[in-house]
Amino acid sequence: MKKIFYILLTSLFITVASCSKGKEGTAPIEKPDKPEVNNNFTAADATTAYTAFNKYFYNSSAKLYYNTTRQDGLAAIWTQAIYWDMAMNVYERTKDPAQLIRVNDIYQGGFNQYDGYNWDNTTTWFIYDDMMWWVIALARANQITGKPEYLQKAIAGFNRVWNGSYDSANGGMFWDFKHSGKNACINYPTVIAALRLYKITGDASYLDKAKSIYDWAKANLFDATNGRVADHKIGNNPPGYEDYTYNQGTAIGAAVMLYKETKDVAYLNDAKLAADYTKNKMSTNGILPAEGDFNEQGVLKSIFAQYIMQLINDGGQSQYLDWVQININTGWKNRDTERNLTFRNYSIHCPTGDIQSYEASSIVTFMQLCPPK
């Protein structure tokens, strides 16, 4: 997937790109926060935020999303899968038939843009985690719509990644075609995808794969003393610890989903530990980190939103709800009120100039998933 930048590995051979991207342009000037009232967002606000996001970022011809409000290019391939998840969140919240049409439209947009989801096209697909984000979304779309072609594409994509990425000798998943390292952004999403496919198909081999990869990730990418998730593990080197909300989020999601399937409370405890680290160590005064200085990392909290809400809802951990609502209320309060666009840095007013869909996406995602206070 892309996100996190290239990491120079000391006396080793490699420059490893942790799942992230570089900058796309000049970052807008961030204006100081206005002293405003503490208004709680409403269900109507959630609809307003999503409508605005689509107004400024959705390309109705391509049926995919632009990268910025300039609307001069499409967003990165893996982030389109995250926006598709957002569309499904909206449908599940509203049950609006028009939104179900959009869910199906986005599938078609990806089909048209990405060679019909031809997983063997190594120009379209150039890294394993890019594929796995789509596999997760395709499986979920099948659950929502019942369309068999979505499931077929998800299964084919999962098999392609597993066959190319899984290290049968040492365990874990490589994030790139050259097998230069094993990153959180492929290992935990593989667990999530496998569990979605297990839920749909009943094929126990998916559950076995999910457990295997989770065990490897916990042993190699997870600090069991505090819940911190490492970004990557390269060879026999120590884990590379860099804090990213999407890694915390997918670790939470993988653990919660395994807990639901197995009823093993150890998984739930892992999820709570990762959530506590994100809340207590990565947040400032309770507000999640900004992430994404005009690059794709702006979308990371959209992924975190998906899985912290699974912990709250499926894991029964309502102690995190107030924290999430405070983040949403802060980000929504600081929106650009002209456009109703929100920003990656919840604590400051959203810039009024050109902004990215990445950095505008996370509050919108949170609002579709989280009930108002």
Contact 304, 248 (CB under 8 A): yes
Q: In this structure, what are the phi and psi dihedrals at residue 20, rounded to the nearest 5 degrees? A: -155, 180
- In DSSP terms, which residues pair with 228 in a beta bridge? 223
d(CA 125, CA 84): 18
Query: What confidence score (pLDDT) does residue 16 get?
Result: 36
Provide the β-strand partners of residue 284.
Answer: 287
Residues ≥6 apart with Cβ < 8 Å to 193: 132, 135, 136, 139, 154, 158
Cα(336)–Cα(355) distance, integer angstroms: 11
**What is the pLDDT, as a whole number, of residue 168?**
97
d(CA 31, CA 96): 36
Q: Considering only CA atoms, which of 7, 15, 21, 20 is closest in space to residue 241?
A: 7
Per-residue pLDDT, 19 = 52
Radius of gyration of the chain (CA): 19
Q: Is the dihedral of CA 355, 68, 229, 266 positive or negative?
A: positive
Cα maximum dimension of the chain:
57
- Which helix (H) or strand (E) segment holds residue 8: the answer is strand 6-8
pLDDT at 39: 82
Distance CA 157, CA 291 (A): 29
Tokens of 185: 């952004």
Which whole-number Å values give the CA distances from 16 to 170, 239, 240, 247, 294, in the listed order?
19, 13, 11, 17, 21
Q: At what angle do helices 43-57 and 77-94 cross, to 10 degrees?
A: 150
Give the per-residue pLDDT at 63: 98
Q: Which single residue is written with the structure tokens 């379209």?
A: 124
Verdict on whether the full-model pTM lies above 0.85: yes
Cβ atoms of residues 165 and 176 within 8 Å: no
pLDDT of res. 153: 98
Whole-angstrom Cα distance, residue 224 to residue 256? 16
* The pLDDT of residue 36: 43
- Blockwise average pLDDT, block size 10, the chain, 373 residues: 38 38 45 52 98 98 98 98 98 98 98 98 97 98 98 98 98 97 98 98 98 98 98 97 98 98 98 98 98 95 98 98 98 98 98 98 98 94
CB 6 within 8 A of CB 17: yes
Cα separation, 78 vs 154, whole angstroms: 14
Instruction: Take residue 270 and report the two structure tokens written for it.
Output: 């892992």
* Contact criterion met (CB below 8 Å) for 345 and 333: no
